[in-house]
Amino acid sequence: MRYLESLNLALDQIMSDNQNAVIIGEDIKDPYGGAFKVTKGLSSKYGHRVISSPISESSIVGLGIGLSLNGFKPIVEIMFGDFITLCADQIINGASKFPWMYGSNFDLPMIIRTPMGGRRGYGPTHSQTLESLFFNIPNIKIISPSIFHDPGQILKDTFYKMKELNLFIENKISYPNEIILKEQVDDYNISIINNNTEFVTLSLVFDRQTRPDIVLLTYGGMSNICFEVARDLFIEEEIIIEIIIPSLVKPVPFSDFHESIISCGKLVIVEEGISICGWGSMITSNLNDELFDSLKAKPVIVGSKEFPIASSRKLEDKILPQKSDIKKAILKIL
Amino acid sequence: MKKNKNYILTPQLDANDDKALVIDINCKNYSSINEGDIIATIESTKATFEIPSDYSGFIYFLCDIDDEVKVGDKIALVSDDLKVLNQIIDDLNNESDVEKNDKSPKLTKKAEAAIKKYKIDINKINKKGIIKEKDILDLIKPNDDSYQEILTLKGNKQLGKDLMIASKSEIPHSYVEIEFNVTKLLQVISLLQKESANFVSLLGIITYATANALKTNKFFNSYRYNNDIFIYKDINIGIVISNDNDLSLPIVRNSDFLLPDQIVKELFRIRKELLKNKSKIKDYTDGTFTISALDHTAIKSFVPIIHPKQSAVLALPSITEKLSLINEEVKIEKVINLGISFDHSFINATMANNFLSDIIIAIEEFI
Amino acid sequence: MDAKSITNKVIGIITETFLLQKDEVNEKSRMGYVKNWDSLNHLHLIISLEQEFGIDFHEDEIVKMTSTTIIVEIISHKIIK
């Protein structure tokens, strides 16, 4: 099943089981079914609960907040993650603050779904990875499933657990990919690290029998590339890389990867967003506080360069993190 | 050959579509194209798109007009070698789907190298997934049950093994020995030890004599590389001393300038540092000749292995007592079977005999 | 440490190094007369003496230390220093 289909089926099921679930977005009604087809078929089934909105991101998030305060469970689609900047005030000064400002007696359950990421040549305002803008905003969860998770299940988990605003970050290049749910494929093993918690963190390794040489920590769309890097380095050099992929991006589930980091002491963090003040920075700060003595080498963060993303694919590749950048970081540490 | 096998893939045209229709093919199969040439046109829900080739060479299409292709599908193959192109096409036609049905095991590069080195039959490998070097090595290791213990040579021991194997395979070894009567020498040494404060040893005297003999027997202070013989300027004698489980090879530099007692002191210095783990690497490198000293053992005769970048090694076994008839009297004489291994490609037995004789003469002159 | 105790210690170390009985070594013992005291094993004796007395012997001293008397003399000089 493809990533996109998994999400579509999950939305279908949510809408079917929850009469107070509402989907709001631009161009999401049939026959178009949304820019990336994630909502295809839903308006035909669920009629007025699928709302095609005007082109006003701030308003549709505001609408969602209002609906949430009135007992609905809205899922708002922002067509491209780049446009989330237009919702910043609603998110930061609205959804994040209202429950606290008004006595914490109520929840504000709401999902904002949006695809981030480049590698399509869509240009500087349609290719970004911007969830880092909200890393230090309280009372918001950020979730991002990879192709190794079941994105539909993660979306359902988010829906049923939400008490606050959840940013659900999808990745454009992942949409057409087949999701990989098998625990053991001939070549590699995927296991769940945190069986008892809400949002699954996965561990993927090419040789589970041997202690890993290094940990690669990533989430979302970069998991695909990290997988290829791990495979290549295993074949070329028999380097054993444990890839840890949380689905919960914020708050960071630090305890999920501490054990693996302690066992080998070496770490590369990979993110598609700009590495400065990004996800990797949050993690290295935590490691500094809690695992400093266990580190055998300085952790390296591989992310985008601090530059607008070019439309030309060749130039885009120089800005976004590539396989070669990750390999170089790993080999430098080892 | 991967260089000659380049596939052109269906690109992702826009956010929505993962399929497209081939509406035009712009060149014939087997025609020659250049990088950048437009080879086909495909159509998505929104627009048509011309596909340029990223490669130059001869092209063969893997799709037809009106075919629906998925993003990432191979639509054409380009090779700069027509023969290779035909071969690949034949292979593709013979097998329904080469990539999917490829049942040959996947290997890491180290595993590939191990298979080549140990000449393993790839079909014997019964493991799923990617095969590592360890999986190949496990096939050639004997069954652990029949052995009390398995030890692995590491570090200097492994290096020693490699050097010895190299020496034996590259240097044609030959060996001769002379019976050297040391009765008088030993009496002199014993006297000196008992009466004077000077430390005198058999090894010190033999090393001194060897250094002198090397001055006039230059071939023994050299090494051969292919057809060239390099004669060393200095005489640096390395002495193999076997001590319990360890071999050490201290080198007495410029031994031709030292007297026996100075040689002994130098040996003490180097060996002491070794025992205290403070050895300097220069004390163990640049040897030009070697003496293998087993005089403190019960070994009467042995054939040592020539060291790399040398052409000979002196064998110093232990003293043997033998009965001799001297002036109608039976006496016990002490002898050493002084031997030499040498590179027979340019040193002959006569030269070896002369060298050993010169050592004995030098000892007798010293006495 | 006085000469007598040094002598006793030295005798003890020689006995131990060359695996001898107590009465086989005394103040007059010297190399060539004592079993196992040969040029190869001499170095082991030196190392043991260095460890026991915490001093380092130069090779010029090592070649002279061929009797109990000389060993005690050399050690005494070094300790006083």
Task: Please give the pLDDT value at position B96.
Answer: 46
Residue type at position A151: P
At residue B104 the predicted structure's pLDDT band, cuts being 50, 70 and 90, is low
Rounded to an integer, the average pLDDT of C6-16 is 90
User: pLDDT tens digits, residue range A215-225?
Assistant: 999 999 999 99
Q: Is the pLDDT of residue B196 over 70?
A: no
Q: How far apart, in whole angstroms, are the C-alpha atoms of residue B115 and residue B118?
A: 5
* Same-domain pairing of B97 and B121: no
The answer to whether position B289 is within a domain reads yes
- B268 and C33 in contact by Cβ < 8 A? no
Task: Please give the pLDDT value at position A184.
Answer: 66
User: pLDDT tens digits, residue range A179-238?
Assistant: 888 776 667 888 888 876 779 899 998 887 788 899 999 999 999 999 999 999 999 988
User: pLDDT tens digits, residue range A275-290?
Assistant: 999 999 999 999 888 8
Task: Flag whether residue B109 sits within 8 Å of chain A, measured between CB atoms.
Answer: yes
The answer to whether position B7 is within a domain reads yes
Burial level of A150, CB count in 10 A (0-12/13-18/19+)? Answer: buried
Task: Flag whether residue B128 sits within 8 Å of chain A, measured between CB atoms.
Answer: yes
Residue A185 with chain B: CB contacts under 8 Å? 129
Site of tokens 């991006």: A249
Helix (H, G, I), strand (E, B) or coil at A129: coil
Residue B12 with chain A: CB contacts under 8 Å? 120, 176
Considering the four listed CATH numbers 3.20.20.70, 1.10.1200.10, 2.40.30.40, 3.50.50.60, the one that applies to the domain covering C3-80 is 1.10.1200.10
User: pLDDT tens digits, residue range A7-45?
Assistant: 999 999 999 999 999 999 999 998 888 888 899 999 999
The answer to whether position B157 is within a domain reads no
Long-range (24+ apart) CB contacts under 8 A made by B48-52 are B48/B23, B49/B11, B49/B13, B49/B20, B51/B8, B51/B10, B51/B11, B51/B75
Q: How far apart, in whole angstroms, are the C-alpha atoms of residue C70 and residue A139?
A: 86
Task: Please give the pLDDT value at position C31.
Answer: 80
Mutation target to probe the B interface, by most B beta carbons within 10 A, among A79, A175, A185, A186 is A186
**Cβ(B18)–Cβ(B50) below 8 Å:** no
Domain definitions of chain C by residue range:
3-80
Q: Do chains A and C touch (3 or more CB pairs under 8 A)?
A: no
- B199 and C70 in contact by Cβ < 8 A? no
Q: How far apart, in whole angstroms, are the C-alpha atoms of residue A64 and residue A46?
A: 17
* Same-domain pairing of B220 and B327: yes
User: pLDDT tens digits, residue range B220-243?
Assistant: 999 999 899 999 999 999 998 765
- CATH no. for residue B87? 2.40.50.100
Q: Is the pLDDT of residue A74 over 60?
A: yes
CA-nearest residue to B198 within chain C is C64
- C59 and B190 in contact by Cβ < 8 A? no
Distance from CA of B135 to the nearest CA of A (A): 12
The pTM of the whole model exceeds 0.95:
no
Alpha helices of chain C — where are they, by DSSP H? Answer: 3-17, 39-53, 59-62, 68-80
User: Where does a domain end: B39, B73, B101?
Assistant: B101
Domain definitions of chain A by residue range:
3-174, 189-333
The answer to whether position B164 is within a domain reads no
∠ Cα B189 B190 B193 (to 5°): 85
Strand extents, DSSP E, chain A: 21-25, 50-52, 73-77, 110-116, 140-143, 165-171, 189-192, 201-205, 214-217, 241-246, 248-250, 267-274, 300-304
The answer to whether position B165 is within a domain reads no
Top-confidence residue, B241 or A77:
A77
* Same-domain pairing of B298 and B338: yes
Mutation target to probe the C interface, by most C beta carbons within 10 A, among B247, B268, B270 is B268
Q: How far apart, in whole angstroms, are the C-alpha atoms of residue B341 and residue B176?
A: 7
Q: Determine the topology of domain A189-333 in CATH.
A: Rossmann fold (3.40.50)
Q: How far apart, in whole angstroms, are the C-alpha atoms of residue B259 and residue B205?
A: 8
* Helices vs. strands in chain A: H and E counts, helices first: 11, 13
**Cβ(A180)–Cβ(A151) below 8 Å:** no
Residue A26 with chain B: CB contacts under 8 Å? none
At residue B99 the predicted structure's pLDDT band, cuts being 50, 70 and 90, is very low
- B15 and A120 in contact by Cβ < 8 A? yes
Beta-strand pair B289-293/B237-243: parallel
Considering its fold, how many domains does chain B have in total? Answer: 3
> Around Cβ A221, how many Cβ atoms within 10 Å?
27
| Superfamily of domain covering A3-174 | Thiamin diphosphate (ThDP)-binding fold, Pyr/PP domains (3.40.50.970)
∠ Cα C37 C42 C45 (to 5°): 100
At residue B100 the predicted structure's pLDDT band, cuts being 50, 70 and 90, is very low
User: pLDDT tens digits, residue range A121-152?
Assistant: 888 999 999 999 999 999 999 999 999 999 99
Strand extents, DSSP E, A105-161: 110-116, 140-143
The number of C-beta contacts closer than 8 angstroms across B and C is: 49
* Same-domain pairing of B263 and B127: no
Domain of residue B116 covers 109-146
Nearest Cα residue to B250 out of B233, B235, B269, B231:
B269
